[in-house]
C-alpha cells in the first residue's frame, strides 16, 4: 500500500514539474521571438501610436498559457475620440500577460529609463513610443508630468500608469503616488481606474487550471481643479480597493463552485 502511495506521489510530482517546465519554456520562447519580431516592426515603423496596443494585445493573448480564463468589462464605455489617463493596480510579472489585454488603441505607458537596458524587451518598449522617465531624479518629476500632459494634448493619445509605483506582490493595493493625477489634471482629461483581481498566490505555473482573472474598467472620472491631486489619489484608491475586493470575492466563489463540482 505504501509502495503504491509513493508511486502515485512521484507521478503527481512529476506531472507538476512537467507542467511548470513546459509553461516556463513556452513563455520564454514567446517573449524572445515576439521581442525580436516586435523590434523589426518598430525599426520599420518606430514610435507608431498603436504599437503599445498591438504588443499589449499580443502579450496579453498568452494568458491562455497560464491556464486561466480572462474576463474584461468596461472597455465598451470608452469614447474612442477622447484621451484618458488609465490607472491600474500592479501586482507581479503576470501583469504582462493579463491586464495588458485592457490597453486600448492610441495608448502609451510611462516607465523608468533603466528599462531600455533590458535586452530586446527594453528596446521594444522604447521604440513602441512609451514615455521613459528618470525615477531616481525627483527634481525632474515636474518635467515628466509636463511631458506626459503635452503628449496627451498634442498627440491625442492616452497614458497608462501604475500609480503604486511598484509591484505589490500580494501586499494588497499599495498607496498611490500623485503623478498620474497631476498629469490628468494638467492635460484636462478623465481618469479611468482599471482593477484586476488578485493573481499573486492564485496563478501558479505548476497547476493545470488556474482561476478566472477578472479585469474591470470603472467609469471615467473628472478631476476637479480645486481638489488636490493627493485627495483625488486617495479617493480613487478607495474606489479601486473596493472593486478589487469584489473581484476577489468573485474568484473565491468560482473556486468554491469548482471544488463542489469535483
Q: How many CA atoms lie within 13 A of 223 on its CB side?
A: 28
Instruction: Indicate the DSSP class of residue 178.
Output: S
Which neighbouring-strand residues pair with 159? 85, 108
Q: How far apart are CA 129 and CA 46, in angstroms?
A: 7
What's the average pLDDT block by block, 10 residues per block, for the chain (262 residues)?
47 67 92 91 93 95 93 96 97 96 96 84 90 72 83 95 94 96 97 98 90 97 96 98 98 74 53
pLDDT of residue 113: 83
* Model pLDDT, residue 17: 84
Domain boundaries, position 176: 2-261
Where residue 19 sits, what CATH number does that domain have?
3.40.1130
- The domain tally of the chain equals 1
Instruction: Tell me the chain's radius of gyration from C-alpha atoms.
Output: 20
Any idea of the CA torsion for 43, 44, 49, 52, to the nearest 10 degrees? -50
Q: CB-based contacts of 236: which residues, under 8 Å, 6+ apart?
A: 87, 176, 181, 191, 193, 221
DSSP, collapsed to helix, strand or coil, labels residue 177 as coil
Amino acid at each position: 500500500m505504501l509502495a503504491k502511495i509513493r508511486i502515485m506521489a512521484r507521478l503527481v510530482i512529476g506531472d507538476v514539474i512537467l507542467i511548470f517546465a513546459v509553461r516556463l519554456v513556452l513563455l520564454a520562447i514567446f517573449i524572445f521571438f515576439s521581442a525580436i519580431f516586435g523590434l523589426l516592426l518598430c525599426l520599420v515603423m518606430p514610435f507608431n501610436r498603436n504599437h503599445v496596443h498591438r504588443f499589449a494585445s499580443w502579450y496579453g493573448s498568452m494568458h491562455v498559457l497560464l491556464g486561466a480564463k480572462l474576463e474584461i468589462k468596461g472597455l465598451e464605455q470608452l469614447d474612442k475620440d477622447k484621451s484618458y489617463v488609465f490607472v491600474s493596480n500592479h501586482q507581479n510579472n503576470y501583469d504582462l500577460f493579463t491586464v495588458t489585454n485592457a490597453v486600448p488603441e492610441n495608448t502609451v505607458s510611462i516607465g523608468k529609463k533603466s528599462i531600455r537596458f533590458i535586452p530586446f524587451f527594453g528596446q521594444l518598449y522604447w521604440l513602441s513610443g512609451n514615455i521613459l522617465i528618470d525615477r531616481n531624479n525627483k527634481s525632474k518629476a515636474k518635467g515628466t508630468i509636463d511631458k506626459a500632459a503635452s503628449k496627451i494634448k498634442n498627440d491625442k493619445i492616452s497614458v497608462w500608469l501604475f500609480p503604486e509605483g511598484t509591484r505589490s506582490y500580494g501586499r494588497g493595493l499599495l498607496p498611490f503616488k500623485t503623478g498620474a493625477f497631476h498629469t490628468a489634471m494638467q492635460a484636462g482629461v478623465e481618469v479611468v481606474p482599471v482593477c484586476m483581481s488578485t493573481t499573486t498566490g492564485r496563478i501558479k505555473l505548476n497547476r493545470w487550471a488556474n482561476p478566472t482573472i477578472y479585469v474591470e474598467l470603472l467609469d471615467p472620472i473628472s478631476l476637479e481643479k480645486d481638489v488636490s491631486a493627493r485627495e483625488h489619489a486617495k479617493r480613487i484608491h478607495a474606489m479601486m480597493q473596493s472593486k478589487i475586493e469584489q473581484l476577489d470575492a468573485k474568484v473565491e466563489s468560482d473556486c468554491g463552485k469548482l471544488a463542489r463540482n469535483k
